Structure 1
Amino acid sequence: MKKLFIVAITALGFTFAAQAQDAATSTNGGQTAQGKWLIEANTGFGGQAGTQAASTSFGLTSVDGNTSWNLGAEGGYFVADDLAVKVGLGYGDNGSDGAGSSAFSYKIGAKYYIASMIPVQVDYTGASIKDFDENPSYLGLQGGYAIFLGENVSIEPGLRYNITMNDDYTEEDVFQFQIGFALHF
């Protein structure tokens, strides 16, 4: 089922991308040109407690008096027009387990802007959780739409699917809605 979902999302993405390329008549002003830099902060909605441990986004969750939070950011460099290589770091705390386990998260991946306005991303995200024997790791697939507000700022709403790479930590994949805020320079 997981493979079928991934194939369907990929096919849908390529279909949408092809239509967007045909419809695009202007560029975004060069924000995704080779040699440019990208700094990005995301908010992540979705998932369940514990699976947010590997996150480079901003988040705050409180359920039944148990509060979890995460801070993070990502940066990238456009090695070619519309193609950025990215890294991300995050730190969070899950106060719900009584001990308040903290997690340091990391991400490495690539982001491609189809027609300079439809970002798709593939990445590896992992975490090191204090006092845990097993740590989460995910293969992330992400797609969205970039709304450029000027020459240096974009808002990028999108969907993200995290496929678990460590079944000993969790067998559950995570589906998220994200809103990204990016600086291009």
Structure 2
Amino acid sequence: MKKLLFFAAFAVFAMTTSFAQEEGGGDPTSQGAWVIEVNTGFGESSTSNTGFSLRSVDGNTAYGLGAEAGYFIMDDLALKAGLGYNDSGADGVDGMFNWKFGGKYYIAGQFPVGIDVSGASGNDVSPLWLGFQAAYAWFVSDDVSIEPGFRYGMGMNEDAGDGDFDVFGVNIGFNFYLN
């Protein structure tokens, strides 16, 4: 199953890269464009992760797979959604499915800031967070950016600790724009 999920994620990444190279034209954050985003997370909880992560703690190897997509409803403003799956690697603990909905605005086309609602389900819990993030978009080509940034997730319900389980993280986003 793990190999199948990895292969599916790799196939989506390869197709997205191919489409981004073929489409081209126009400003990457202009109205009507799409963005596909894959993040790595450092220091974040493995719950509600819609990016890629891999960590090993006390002999348990945990991983996360996911991606986000967005549509620019106006210049520099995208509505986004993301899905992911995380497995803690612990015996007797099932994996969790993760989701995220929100918006991302590019200030001056170079500084993305975002707000979203994210959550997870599995293991008889459904934590919910309100997330804020800020980054710098380094455009390595017309259709690809690398976005190092910060993210803060504020726990919104009892399963997320009602604010007692706030999560701060550093991530690197890889974005592919389709015009």
Give the TM bin, normalised by the shorter chain.
0.7 to 0.9
Amino acid at match of 1:152: D
Amino acid at match of 2:79: V
In the alignment, which residue of structure 2 is the partner of 1:92? Answer: 86
Identity %: 51
Q: Report how far residue 72 of structure 1 moved.
A: 0.3
In the alignment, which residue of structure 2 is the partner of 1:143? Answer: 134
- Provide runs of 4+ in structure 1 moved above 6 Å: none
User: Is residue 21 of structure 2 the alignment partner of residue 65 of structure 1?
Assistant: no
Larger radius of gyration between Structure 1 and Structure 2:
1
User: Structure 1-normalised TM-score?
Assistant: 0.79
User: Is residue 98 of structure 2 the alignment partner of residue 101 of structure 1?
Assistant: no
Amino acid at match of 2:27: G
Q: Report how far residue 168 of structure 1 moved.
A: 3.7
In the alignment, which residue of structure 1 is the partner of 2:11? Answer: none
CA distance in 2, matches of 1:64, 1:95: 10
Aligned Cα root-mean-square deviation (Å): 1.2
Task: For structure 1, list consecutive stretches of 5 or more residues without a partner in the other structure.
Answer: 1-28
Q: Report how far residue 64 of structure 1 moved.
A: 1.2
Residues 38-75 of structure 1 show CA distances to partners (whole Å, capped at 9, x for unaligned) of 0000001003xxx4221101001101101111000000
In the alignment, which residue of structure 2 is the partner of 1:112? Answer: 105
In the alignment, which residue of structure 2 is the partner of 1:74? Answer: 68
Q: Give the alignment partner of residue 32 of structure 1, picking from 24, 29, 32.
A: 29
Amino acid at match of 2:49: S
In the alignment, which residue of structure 1 is the partner of 2:176? Answer: 183
User: Is residue 149 of structure 2 the alignment partner of residue 158 of structure 1?
Assistant: yes
CA distance in 1, matches of 2:61, 2:153: 22
Q: How many residues align?
A: 151
